[in-house]
Amino acid sequence: MQFTKLRLTGFKSFVEPTEFLIEPGLTGIVGPNGCGKSNLVEALQWVMGETSARRLRGGEMDDVIFGGTTTRPARNIATVTLSLDNRDRTAPAHLNDHDELEIERRIDRDRGSTYRVNSREQRARDVQLLFADAASGAQSTALIGQGRIGWLINAKPAERRTLLEEAAGIGGLQARRHEAELRLSATETNLTRLEDVAATLSQQIDRLKRQVKQAERYRTLSEGYRRAEALVLQRHLVTRTEELEAAIKRMHAAEAVVEAAAAAADVAMAERLRCAEALAPARSVVDEANRRLDRLSSDFQTVTAEERAIAQQIRDLRQRIIQIDQDIGRESALLAQAMAARARLEEERDRLEQQGVGDLEAQERAAMLSQEAGEAVRAADAELNLSTARVAQLQAERSAVLRRVAGIEERRARLRRQQTDAELRT
């Protein structure tokens, strides 16, 4: 297997994609200090599986990514691809399908690195083994870096042995043996763990067996329980069915009763309607009687008021009659006096007429007295006539008022009777 090409992108100072051809006969790289010679060697180490950032002159692995300069920003990805000529088919079996192998390592900032061989992802260990088989690798003495010669001269025998083994081409075998030993110890650990697991599992099996027995018992019991429950339910069903039938019978009977009651209710309703119809005329009679009673009450009140007014009138009239009677008495006394005066005057006249048949003076005096007496009598007469007429008028008025009182009393009695009748009727 020959290295044919190294391609770098974003690795250390190689920010732009750079191809470095490794042709037969290449013996060294020459350049000014700081031009990147050591970076190329480190790129080879890195792609072959270097795991130590310190050996690549960095603090952490991300330091291999181009870190930027004053004029260019930093990158986040670095890729190094190494091409191998595999025409002699010496690669491990699972990578031995192609004449050329392209081993690529890529690192993403903060996410670590990945390996691909001919675009198929591979484990770091596979890539490291590939180079170990070819007597190469990141730690290989085939790469003599800066200061490496001094290290070789001062190396301990054990370290020199590694160098010799590599030179003899058994580096890969050693690496494989180491890996096999690691696997063996891992398998032994696994075996121990498996024994533990088996012991745990056998305990679980015992427990599960016990649980199976319990489950079977439970199943048998629950079967019996279900059967018993079914029996109970069936018995319930029979009882309930009988109860239902009895209830249906009762319901039919109740329905018949309800029907009869409904018919009776219809009859009663018709009867009620008939009664209501019959009651209507009686009601109207009662209403009419009530109306009449109201009317009568109002008439009665009117009559009572009228009666009170008339009683007052009667009292007034009586008063006036008493007064008139007194007037009549006075007038009669006056009349009697006038009559007595006339009689006296007539007597005087007669005496004077007899005395002075020839005496003229006596005759004139008698005539004057007679005239005076006549006038006094006429005045008394006129007064008497007037009083008599007034008395007659007052008496007529009184009898008219008494008639009215009698009429009103009769009306009141009649109204009372009618009211009592009406009250009795309602």
24 binds, among Mg ion, ligand ATP, none (CB under 5 to 8 A by kind): none
Of the residues 9, 39, 81, 139, which one makes contact with ligand ATP according to CB under 6 A = 39
Nearer to ligand ATP by C-beta: 76 or 118?
76
Only one of the segments 32-40, 89-97, 331-339, 404-412 lies at the binding site for ligand ATP (rule: CB under 6 A); that segment is 32-40
What does 33 interact with, of Mg ion, ligand ATP, none (CB < 5 to 8 A by kind)? ligand ATP
Q: Which stretch binds ligand ATP (CB under 6 A): 37-45, 160-168, 304-312, 398-406?
A: 37-45
From the list ligand ATP, Mg ion, none, partner contacted by residue 67 (C-beta under 5 to 8 A by kind): ligand ATP
CA–CA dist 129, 134 (Å, integer):
9
Q: Which residue is nearest to ligand ATP (CB)?
A: 38
Q: How many CA atoms lie within 13 A of 267 on its CB side?
A: 5
Complex with ligand ATP: residue 12 or 342, whichever CB lies closer: 12
**What are 369's two structure tokens?**
């007295």
- Which of 298, 319, 306 has its CA nearest to residue 405? 306
C-alpha–C-alpha distance, residues 342 and 369, integer Å:
10
One residue of 3, 4, 13, 341 binding ligand ATP per CB under 6 A: 13
DSSP string, 243-275: HHHHHHHHHHHHHHHHHHHHHHHHHHHHHHHHH
CB 401 within 8 A of CB 310: yes
Backbone angles phi, psi at 181, to 5 degrees: -65, -45
Find the shortest distance in angstroms from Cβ 138 to ligand ATP.
17
Stretch that binds ligand ATP, among 62-70, 111-119, 152-160, 398-406 (CB under 6 A): 62-70
Q: Is 119 in the site for ligand ATP (CB under 6 A)?
A: no
Rounded to 10°, the helix 124-133/171-355 angle is 170
Altogether, the residues listed in the chain come to a count of 426
Q: Counting contacts by CB under 6 A, is residue 409 touching ligand ATP? A: no
User: Do 387 and 327 meet the contact criterion of CB atoms below 8 Å apart?
Assistant: yes
CB of 67 to ligand ATP, least distance (A): 4
Residue 74: both structure tokens together? 């930093």
Shorter beta-carbon distance to Mg ion: residue 57 or 330: 57
- How far apart (Å, rounded) are the C-alpha atoms in residues 263 and 265? 5
31 binds, among ligand ATP, Mg ion, none (CB under 5 to 8 A by kind): ligand ATP
Nearest Cα to 53, choosing from 7, 15, 16, 12?
12
Asked whether position 31 contacts ligand ATP by CB under 6 A, the answer is yes
| Nearer of residues 40 and 317 to ligand ATP, judged by Cβ | 40
Q: Give the residue with the Cβ less far from ligand ATP, 119 or 146.
A: 146
Residues 6+ apart with CB under 8 A from 148: 141
**The tokens 């339910």 sit on which residue?**
233
> Contact with ligand ATP (CB under 6 A): which of 5, 53, 67, 334?
67
CB of residue 123 to ligand ATP, shortest distance in Å: 26
How far is the C-alpha of 273 from the C-alpha of 264, rounded, in Å?
A: 14
Residues forming the site for Mg ion (CB under 5 A)? 38, 146
User: How many residues sit close enough to ligand ATP to count as binding (CB under 6 A)?
Assistant: 13
The single residue among 7, 12, 105, 349 that binds ligand ATP, judged by CB under 6 A, is 12
Decide if residue 76 touches ligand ATP (CB under 6 A): no
Query: Quick check: 138 and 49 in contact, CB under 8 A?
Result: yes
Which window, 61-69, 150-158, 300-308, 381-389, contacts ligand ATP (CB under 6 A)? 61-69
Give Dmax over CA atoms of the chain in angstroms. Answer: 236
Output the six-digit token pair for 201: 């599992």
37 lies in the binding site for ligand ATP (CB under 6 A) = yes
Q: Find the shortest distance in angstroms from Cβ 151 to ligand ATP.
A: 16
Binding residues among 97-116 for ligand ATP as defined by CB under 6 A: none
Side-chain-facing half-sphere of 151: CA atoms under 13 Å: 10
Beta 18-21 vs 100-108: how paired, if at all? unpaired
27 interacts with ligand ATP by CB under 6 A: no
Q: For residue 66, state whether it binds ligand ATP (rule: CB under 6 A).
A: yes
Q: CA angle at residue 92 from 87 to 98, to 5 degrees?
A: 35
Residues at the interface with ligand ATP (CB under 6 A): 12-13, 31, 33-39, 63, 66-67
